Amino acid sequence: MKQNGKIKDFLLWTVLAIVLGLIVSFAFLPLLGVDPVDSLKIMLTETFSDKFTMGNILIKTTPLILTSLAFAFTYKANLYNIGAQGQFYVGCICAVATTLALQTKLPGVVVLLLAFAASILGGGLTGLLIGFLKAKFNANEFLVSMMSTYVVQYVMQLLLRTALQEPKHEYLKTAYIDNSAWLPKIIPGTSVSLGIVIALAAAIFIWFILYHTSLGYRVRVTGLNQDAARMSGISPKKMCMTAFFISGAIAGLAGFTEINGMQHMLLTGFESDIGSYGIGIAIMASANPIGVIFAALLFGTLQVGGTALGHSTDAPASVIDVMLGFVMLFVLMSFFVRRKLEIRKLKHQKLQKGEA
């Protein structure tokens, strides 16, 4: 009963915050000489008019679910993995390299499975390295993970100029991967691939790990009370490395869904925002793996809608970021307002009890 009321409360507040965020961001449009009412109409009709664009929402959502899961998992251990972008790139490199090396030599399914495993392992090991530095030398994981993205980015540039460059050596990209190694499309008339299913499964998997396994339990205990963890035979250092490995693996998995499911090649500057969006989404969902799905879906929708807005009106493309920024700001503010109100209510109840 009580739980239900809480969820209802939460949904109401969040929807209200999203609407407010949109209103405020649309209020900026007249400054750019764009009619906000018209743009809203365009945005809605363009986004939800045809199947293909609606499919795009799911395509955008897929990697966002994964990178925000990556942040959410370490967040539960009271650690900060700011480097999901880098781990995603490592996943991309592993997936594309495995696929290019083995495609046509092995059956497509096997290539896909190997690319899947390679991306997870690559991302995971990158994460593990950060976790190891934290556990062993007490390096600041925030900084190390953040900077690791840059290192990976330049390694990727290097590989795109050398070993992985397309045969003609003209552009900074790899060759297209063979059709046989593409993730199958699941909705006809769209480009939506199995990737979205993988992302959803990953969210459920992470939820299961966190709340139904002793490993996830230990991660959460470490995150909430490190001293109690130590006193219970749980090694916070081991938990740090484990959490970072899993986090990195999930971010790496996004590399697989994007390469084999969507882009079918790797190019420089590929999906360069999903790491930072992931952080925002995870925070918006209070790091709840199931909540992440919906928050990512919201971001995906806004991205598609914002792109449509950029195409069809005079508004610049950066309008998307303004919109996302405002929506996030309002959702976060709604948390604080809600908590303040709750505390006030509790205090009120206590006072009444005291007087009675």
- Is residue 78 part of the contact set for another protein (CB under 8 A)? no
What distance in Å separates the CA atoms of residue 176 and residue 91, rounded to the nearest whole number? 17
Closer CB to another protein, residue 138 or residue 214?
214
Distances from the Cα of 330 to the Cα of 19, 97, 251, angstroms: 9, 41, 27
Taking alpha carbons only, the member of 277, 289, 283 closest to residue 325 is 277
Q: How far is the CB of 12 from another protein (least distance, A)?
A: 23
Is 338 a residue that touches another protein (CB under 8 A)?
no
Residues 283-322 that bind another protein (CB under 8 A): none
Binding another protein (rule: CB under 8 A), the pick from 232, 272, 286, 318 is 232
Which amino acid appears at position 73 of this protein?
Answer: F
Instruction: Give whichever of 115 and 219 is closer to another protein, judged by the CB atom.
Output: 219
Rounded to the nearest whole angstrom, what is the least distance from the CB of residue 19 to another protein in the complex? 31
**Which span sits near another protein by CB under 8 A: 19-27, 30-38, 69-77, 226-234?**
226-234
Among 233, 352, 354, 356, binds another protein (CB under 8 A): 233
Is residue 231 close enough to count as binding another protein by CB under 8 A?
A: yes
Tokens, residue 170: 């003209």
> Angle at CA 345, nearest 5°, toward 339 and 348?
145
Q: Among residues 78 and 276, whose Cβ is nearest to another protein? A: 78
Of these, 20, 215, 322, 329, which contacts another protein (CB under 8 A)?
215
Q: Which amino acid is located at 26 in the chain?
A: F
The set of residues, in sequence order, having a beta carbon less than 8 Å from that of 73 and lying 6+ positions away, is 81, 206, 210, 219, 243, 246, 247, 250
Q: How far is the CB of 76 from another protein (least distance, A)?
A: 11
- To another protein, the closest distance from the beta carbon of 239 in angstroms equals 11
Please state, in angstroms and rounded to a whole number, the distance separating the CA atoms of residues 28 and 331: 19
Told to check if 221 binds another protein by CB under 8 A, we report yes
The nearest distance, CB 237 to another protein, in angstroms, is 12
Three-class SS of residue 235? coil
DSSP assignment of 157-195: HHHHHTTTS-TT--SSBPPPPPGGGSPPB-STTS--BTH
Least separation in angstroms between CB 219 and another protein: 10
Please answer whether residues 241 and 73 qualify as being in contact, where contact means their C-beta atoms are separated by less than 8 angstroms.
no
Give me the least distance between CB of 225 and another protein, in Å please: 5
| 4 contributes a contact to another protein by CB under 8 A | no
289-312 and 36-49 helices, crossing angle to 10°? 120
SS3 at position 88: helix
- Cβ of residue 226: shortest distance to another protein, in angstroms? 10
Interface pick for another protein out of 23, 228, 290, 317 (rule CB under 8 A): 228
Which tokens belong to 54? 């609606």
Choice from 140, 191, 225, 286 touching another protein (CB under 8 A): 225
Residue 274 makes CB contacts below 8 A (sequence gap 6+) with 63, 64, 67, 84, 85, 88, 254
Contact between 218 and another protein by CB under 8 A: the answer reads yes
Is 234 among the residues that bind another protein (CB under 8 A)?
yes
Candidates 212, 311, 340, 347; binder of another protein (CB under 8 A) is 212
Chain residues that interact with another protein, rule: CB under 8 A: 212-215, 217-218, 220-221, 224-225, 227-228, 230-234
